[in-house]
Structure 1
Amino acid sequence: MAKNSKTGKPLVADRRYGATPEQPKPTKRKRQPRKRTARRRGLVGWLLLPFTWTLGLILRLTWKLALAVAVLIAVGVLYFASQMPPIAQLVDGRTRGSVTLLDRNGDVFAWRGDQFGGMVTSEEVSQYLHDAVVATEDKRFYSHFGISPRGVASAVKINLSEGRGPLSGNGGSTITQQTAKLLCLGVPYDAETWKTERAYEDDCRRTTLWRKIKEAIFSMGMEVAYTKDQILTVYLNRAYLGAGSRGFEAAAQRYFGKSAADVDPAEAAMLAGLLKAPSSYAPTSSMDRAVARANVVIGLMEEQGYLTPQQAEDARTHPAQLSEAAQARAGGYFADWVMEQGPDFFTQDTTEDVVIRTTLDQRIQTATESALLSIFDAKLKPSSKAQAAIIVMSADGAVRAMVGGRDVRASGAFNRATQAKRQPGSAFKPFIYATALDLGFSPNDIIDDQPLTINVPGSGPWRPDNYDHRFKGPITLTQALYESRNIPAIVLSEEVGRELVRTVAQKFGIASDLAAGPALALGVSESTLIEMTGAYAGILNGGSAVEPYGLIDLRLKGDESPLMDNMGTGMQERVIQQKAARELTYMMSQVVARGTGTRAQIKGWELAGKSGTTNSSRDAWFIGFNADYVVGVWMGYDDNSPMTGVTGGGLPAEIWQATMSRVVAGEVPKPLPMDLPGPSSRGGMLADSGIEADGQILDVLNNILNGLGN
């Protein structure tokens, strides 16, 4: 304590406890420099020294390298972001257009090319569809930055556990990454680099380490340039969903006949399920697989809260159903044929969206398919390799139905109705009689069915035979036709002139090369079913040739004015007089009424037709008509091997009858356009045993006749 400065007396405390001497102030001590001493290392320290030094170097280099990589990634992301075009330019990336085919009533029955239903946004599609895609493909879509490290790690783990490479199989791709792939990482299609669009897309799907790195950077660039909903919009419009559908709008229209904005939970799940494997899970390919995959998607939607348990159960109980057009898959052969009728730049190779209106009648097409299958199921063994083809045509050449093989709904397959050239046999004979009638012969004229010898220079005599090896003697032309007798056909052909017969047949539309010798009368020249059916349509319409057609008009989608118009072009020039055609129709009606075509009869209907069977039953035909339609049927083996016990008046006539019965079901019978024959126009009888066949080879003719007839 300090003393009182005024009195000099000690303070009270000082007196009580004694004075405390003053403490001198401490002086500031000067800091001495620290001596450096060598740190002593133990043996362990010296042993670890290289490792610790290396680790320190790695750490120093790592953060610098990481910084450099981060800068490069940022530059790459900003570069790609700056290159991104407007969303509207990305939604339709097709290099070729689509063809939509309409039937005679304007209803869609087939599609070709790449279908694009028009741009839809992620906000416009059904909420169920939006949720199904996110739940199935990328449940963290709205929270990641374009890539999902967790998803990648999980995919690598799965791939390795299943014995695959880390990049093989599951990719852990986000929706953004999948969209980047659909955009081919910004690389446009170049026809000089890739020969086809498929090659371009395959190249875009290749998985390499470098492409995965570029894909990640490109994806982050998209996240910078676009909003999440914009990215999802691109994805919804560009994803391939099977059956030529590009985008969910096209797929919804293709499979369900409705907009993507209107699909329900079951339909949304089936559409989203296609993303995994469009071809395998397409409902037009296998409805069972499509439903099973849709149920998986429904489960994911329920698990993630997009569907209530009740909604999920209802979607499972009532799976999506295909539209009528998608179920029918009608006219595959017909659609392929029509695509060949327009110019390639508007059909096969179109870069535009094209709409083609056709002559197809879907009711008749379904009837035709059903008829063929019913006869084959009932009359042939399952192991049989026999094939058949059918065409239904109007009298003006408009094709109403076409089946090109036993696989009635095939597409892109060999079409036996238009591509197979086969011998028609006796189905050719009506053109001989047409020629004769046009020259003034009468159906009641007499012709002698007797043994015939034709002298073949250099080969000797040729003696043709009838199918039944019998000779009837004097018979009418009508009887000769409905019994399909060979000798009268040869005699009549030679009488009117085989060159004239050739001309008449060709003008009726048989464009194939026709035999030059007397065997012409026996139908040895190859022809197609569509040529023969079109030629018979000329008989039905009164003697005018027709050009079979299926395309009515072609226009660009959205345009009112057609670019092509085939209205009224089926009818061509007149070939024979109407009177001759009507008389021939009567003669052919007797084929069905009491000749080789009785199996084609339909109660209450007047029908006309002609059967044809070639050597050893390699080909069997029946072609005939009622007042409105011509139906042509061919049956045989693709390898041209003989059939056992099949003639034109047998199974082909039964297929014809089954087809025509279904076509006219519910209609009132109409009379055929025919004239009953008058008296014979000639007093004599047609017969000749001295016909010469210049240039014909005897052995060939004998082979032709072996088995030819009805």
Structure 2
Amino acid sequence: MTGKRGSKPPLVAEKRSRPAGKKRKPSKPAARRKAVPKRRGLLGTLLWPFKWVLILFWRIAWRGTVVVTLLVGIGVFYYASSLPPIDEMVDGRTRGSVTLLDARGETFAWRGDQYGGMISSDAVNENLRHAVIATEDKRFYWHFGVDFYATGAAMVRNFRNGGNPLSGAGGSSITQQTAKLLCFGRPFDPDTWENETAYEADCRRTTLWRKVQEAVYAFAMEARYTKGEILTIYLNRVYLGAGSRGFEAAAQRYFGISAVNVNPAQSAMLAGLLKAPSSFAPTRNLQISQNRGATVVRLMEEQGYLTAAQAADAQANPATLSEAARARAGGYFADWVMDSAPSYFTNDTTEDVIIRTTLDPRIQTAAEEALVWIFENKVRDGSEAQAAIVVMSADGAVRAMVGGRDLTVSAAFNRATQALRQTGSAFKPFIYAAALDLGWSPLATVVDERRCWNTPGSGNWCPSNYTNDFSGEVTLVEALQRSLNIPAVILSEEIGRDIVRMVAENFGIVSDLASGPALALGASESTLLEMTGAYAGILNGGSAVKPYGLVELRLIGDNEPLLTATGGIRERVIQESAARQLTWMMYQVVEGGSGQRAAIDGWEIAGKTGTTQGARDAWFIGFNGDYVAGVWMGYDNNTPLTGVTGSGLPAEIWHETMTRVLSGLTPTPLPMQAPAQFSGQQPGTGQGGDGLGYTPEQADGIINDLLRELLGNGG
């Protein structure tokens, strides 16, 4: 055997057949092979040049997201740890409220920021809770403080409408709105903000940074409070018009009930105020408020909070105002009372105050209805003439006040208390009061003839009567009854202007009185409140009164008042017998003189008309045995009245007012005294049965005493 015997043949695969002519290509080393490029497609081809930019952006973005998330978390933790318990956050007012009660103890007006007390979201009526959520934040229970979907949609709408995505339609959740109400935890600081309005405007200011703060604070509130607690803060702090802070105050203000008891229609109206509380307030425009409420009812039905039947009932029976809110009575009166008390208890109060007043709502309504009726039926359309009315008791307690034709205003110009106007012949009773107190008889005579008086710097002053004729010898009662001018000036000059001025001032005319003979014809200015108060002194028997409307002022929760009435009857000005005779003379004015249009069947009425130079002012002031009422009419710009005197429209307004006031009451006789028959004695002697019995010496003594008092008072 050779050496090859034991060797085995190599294992070789069987030869495979190949097509003829095909040769196997030698393989290339791996290092020399070329990579085949991937197919990128059109988008990949376009983005390929920006590959590294996108990679860089991604790396920055996720790192930035981490940083922002960390900062937001720090902010949320900071805010959440500083948030106090909710009972410290529900009352966010920087000033207090004033509730005004009428003479019966019923609320008739509110001032300041009214807060009805804390009410929780659990205690409030579910209709109200559902109305708020349906209107303001339907996903309230599902988000964590910010509804990103609603916010984005609002920004898109704003961009399309005005170009600024941050300005316009809302999108803020209830939690975000609450964050704004809390001003992100910043309390009101009078050194930083001029007033509460500026503070709230600053808190509502919308910028990108503020939106970030708002979101962070909202997240913090969601972390610190439950949904119910957040809703409680919102329901108590939100402003709902007419000075109402929170839904409890608004329910009381508009409906006279608690927020616990509101029905679906009332709930919808209240929730509808959130969009624009001042514009939609039902006390301002009930129809607009009802229309907005109807929209809220539809939202509640769409979101399943009301059945179709409940929604239909709410639409068919929209919410209406309570009687007190609907009346809106006594706005001018309320403003006057607020001004009569110290400001730290009224306009600037930080406490909740209750003021009991003298207002009689029945008399107030009578005065308002009378004014409206006269202007609708007796005054030409488009006239800008104004009028004012004051009704008071004989002790000066003001029962009604109308300061102008607009009966719904607040903090407006009050023509009853602020308008200084010439009084005209309405001043004449004070001349006769002085004369009667000095012993003149109502039946004493003076001569009505052409007379002139020399006034320093002006030469001769020769007044005339309204009719431009003269009547010769007339009695004092006839002169007053016909409102003759010459006898009034003669009498004033005879007894002395200083005495007349002193009597008028002591009766309450505190405005500057004229120094010349024109004093007798009402050349001086006064307010309607002053004049009516002065006439009250005649009714009560000759004692001055200080008109007042405030009976007592106390803080809510206190039993003892902090202030009580400072008005009422004061010192005696003229003798009671003189006042009673003057009342008789003024009764003749209404019975057969210039004031006949004020007469009321079955009642004894006394009064006096007044018309000023050029008919720029027209007055009628009168009284029965119970009440004194004053009426003024004129233009704010002093334009002369056309065809109007005190015996015309003012007397008719008085008649319409007092007819309503006295309706259903038993007639009260006037406290008047008719003089005994005049026996021919000279004026001023006090002789001849004038009922006073003064001798000339006694009359001189009275005059000297009055002059000494006048000089002692700096006169």
TM-score for the superposition, normalised by structure 1: 0.90
Once residues 272 and 523 of structure 1 are traced to their aligned partners in structure 2, the CA distance between those partners, rounded to angstroms, is: 56
Find the residue that maps to 2:570 and give its secondary structure: strand
Q: Matches of 1:305 and 1:387 in 2, distance apart? A: 53
The match for 2:21 is: none
Contact 1:339 1:348 in 2 (8 A): yes
Structure 2: give runs of 5+ residues left out of the alignment: 1-29, 686-715
**Distance (Å, rounded) in 1 between the aligned partners of 2:370 and 2:484:** 29
Is residue 2:586 matched to residue 1:604? no
In structure 2, the partner of 1:6 is none
Does the C-alpha gap of structure 1 residues 58 and 409 become closer, same or farther in structure 2, counting only changes over 3 Å? closer
Structure 1 counterpart of 2:340, one-letter code: Q
The residue aligned with 2:335 is 336
Task: Give 1:163 shift.
Answer: 3.7
AA of the residue aligned to 2:597 = R
Matched residues in 2 for 1:119 and 1:424: separation?
Answer: 52
Deviation for aligned residue 1:458: 6.2
Secondary structure of the corresponding residue to residue 401 of structure 1: strand
Residues 236 and 454 of structure 1: CA distance in aligned 2, closer, same or farther (over 3 Å): same
SS at match of 1:326: helix
SS of 2:435 mapped into structure 1? helix
Structure 2 residue matching 1:429: 3-state secondary structure? helix
Give 1:64 shift: 1.4
Question: Do residues 322 (structure 1) and 313 (structure 2) align?
Answer: no
Secondary structure at 1:340 match in 2: helix
Give the drift of 1:281.
1.2
Q: Report what 1:637 is aligned to.
A: 635
Per-residue CA deviation, residues 589-622 of structure 1 (Å, 9 max, x unaligned), is 0000000000001000000000000111000000
Q: Rate the CA distance shift 1:521–1:46 in 2: closer, same or farther, 3 A.
A: closer
Q: How does 1:149-228 map to 2 (within 5 A)?
A: 149-228=148-227
Once the 2 structures are TM-superposed, how far is the Cα of residue 453 of structure 1 from its aligned partner? Answer: 2.8
Alignment of 1:483-632 (within 5 A): 483-566=482-565, 569-632=567-630
Residues of 1 paired with 2:32 and 2:631: CA distance? 112
> How many equivalent pairs are there?
655
Aligned partner letter, 1:208: T
Task: Using CA pairs under 8 Å that are at least 6 residues apart, name the structure with larger relative contact order, 1 or 2.
Answer: 1
Describe the shift of the 1:439–1:57 C-alpha distance in structure 2 as closer, same or farther (beyond 3 A).
same
Structure 1 unmatched ranges of 5 or more: 1-33, 688-710
Q: 1:49 to 1:131 in 2, by over 3 A?
A: closer
Measure how far apart 1:681 and its partner are. Answer: 7.4
Change (3 A) 1:317 1:584: same
Question: Per-residue deviation at 1:461?
Answer: 3.7
Give the Cα–Cα distance (whole angstroms) in 2 for the partners of residues 233 and 48 of structure 1: 53
The residue that corresponds to 2:399 in the other structure is 400
With 583-592 and 150-159 compared, the bigger mean Cα shift is at: 150-159
Q: C-alpha offsets along residues 415-472 of structure 1, whole Å, 9 cap, x if unaligned?
A: 0000000001000000000001101111111111122232345655433211111211
SS of the residue corresponding to residue 620 of structure 2 reads: strand
Q: Is the CA contact 2:268–2:294 (under 8 Å) kept in the aligned structure 1?
A: yes
Q: Which residue of 1 aligns with 2:713?
A: none
Amino acid at match of 2:440: F
Q: 1:681 to 1:269 in 2, by over 3 A?
A: farther
Q: Which residue of 2 aligns with 1:107?
A: 106
Change (3 A) 1:334 1:459: closer
Contact in 2 for aligned 1:514/1:526 (Cα 8 Å): yes
The structure 2 residue matched to 1:673, chosen from 671, 674, 693, is 671
Query: 1:50 and 1:272 mapped to 2: Cα distance?
Result: 56
Q: Distance in 1 between matches of 2:313 and 2:366?
A: 35
* % same residue: 63
Distance in 2 (CA, whole Å) between partners of 1:327 and 1:420 is 28
Distance 1:157 1:469, change over 3 A: same
| Letter aligned with residue 609 of structure 1 | G
Amino acid in the other structure paired with 1:558: G
Q: Residues 42 and 237 (structure 1 numbering): CA distance in 2 closer, same or farther, change over 3 Å?
A: closer
Query: Residues of 2 paired with 1:46 and 1:678: CA distance?
Result: 124
Residues 459, 380 of structure 1: CA spacing in aligned structure 2 closer, same or farther, 3 A cutoff? closer
Contact 2:108–2:328 under 8 Å retained in 1: yes
Contact kept in structure 2, 1:424 and 1:614, CA below 8 Å: yes
Q: TM-score, normalised by structure 2?
A: 0.89
Distance 1:221 1:100, change over 3 A: same
- Residue type matched to 1:673 in 2? P
Alignment of 1:236-315 (within 5 A): 236-315=235-314
CA gap 1:47/1:248 in 2 versus in 1, 3 angstroms: closer
Aligned residue type for 1:307: L
- Superposition deviation, residue 385 in structure 1: 0.9
- Work out whether residues 332 and 412 of structure 2, in 8 Å CA contact, stay in contact via their aligned partners in 1: yes
State the Cα distance separating 1:495 from its structure 2 match. Answer: 1.1
SS at match of 2:235: helix
Paired residue secondary structure (2:610): strand
Secondary structure of the residue that 1:141 maps to in structure 2? coil
Match of 2:383 in 1: 384
Aligned-partner Cα distance in 2 for 1:47–1:552: 86
Equivalent residue letter for 2:366? A
Q: Give the direction of change, closer, same or farther, for the CA distance of 1:486–1:173 in structure 2 (3 Å limit).
A: same
**Alpha-carbon distance, 1:493 to partner:** 0.6
User: How much has 1:559 moved relative to structure 2?
Assistant: 1.1
Residue of structure 2 equivalent to 1:235: 234
Q: 1:474 to 1:84 in 2, by over 3 A?
A: same
Task: Please give the secondary structure, in 2, of the residue aligned with 1:634.
Answer: strand
Shift in Å at residue 644 of structure 1?
1.2
> Aligned to 1:293, what secondary structure does the other structure show?
helix
In 2, Cα distance between the equivalents of 1:161 and 1:457? 76
Alpha-carbon distance in 1 for matches of 2:86, 2:108:
32
Distance 1:398 1:52, change over 3 A: same
- The one-letter amino acid paired with 1:667 is L
Q: Distance in 1 between matches of 2:494 and 2:505?
A: 19
Aligned-pair distance for 1:35? 6.9
Q: Partners of 1:245 and 1:444 in 2: how far apart?
A: 61
Q: Secondary structure at the match of 1:112?
A: strand
| Code of the aligned partner of 1:623 | I
TM-aligned CA distance change 1:457 to 1:189, over 3 Å: closer
The 1:47–1:321 alpha-carbon spacing in structure 2 relative to 1, beyond 3 Å, is closer
User: Which residue number in structure 2 is paired with residue 20 of structure 1?
Assistant: none
Counterpart contact for 2:440–2:683, Cα < 8 Å: no
Give 1:450-461 correspondences, 5 Å limit.
450-456=449-455, 460-461=459-460
User: What amino acid does structure 1 have at the position aligned with 2:473?
Assistant: P
Name the CA shift for 1:668/1:152 in 2 (closer, same or farther; >3 Å): same
Q: CA deviation at 1:169?
A: 1.2
**3-state DSSP of counterpart to 1:396:** coil
Partner of 1:431: 430
The 1-side partners of 2:108 and 2:47 are apart by 79
> Distance in 2 between the 1:410 and 1:169 partners?
30
SS in 2 for 1:162: helix
Please tell me whether the aligned partners of residues 447 and 686 of structure 1 are also in contact (alpha carbons under 8 angstroms). no
2:409 is aligned to: 410
CA 1:343–1:682 in structure 2 vs 1: closer, same or farther (change >3 Å)?
farther
Range with greater deviation from structure 2 (466-475 or 38-47): 38-47
C-alpha separation in 2, matches of 1:312 and 1:46: 60
In structure 2, relative to structure 1, the CA distance for the partners of 1:177 and 1:682 (3 Å cut) is farther
TM-aligned CA distance change 1:211 to 1:681, over 3 Å: farther
Is the 1:441–1:682 contact (alpha carbons within 8 Å) kept by the matching residues of 2?
no
Q: 1:648 is paired with a residue of what secondary structure?
A: coil
Q: Is the 8 A contact 2:604 2:669 kept in 1?
A: yes
Distance in 1, matches of 2:71 and 2:665, equals 77
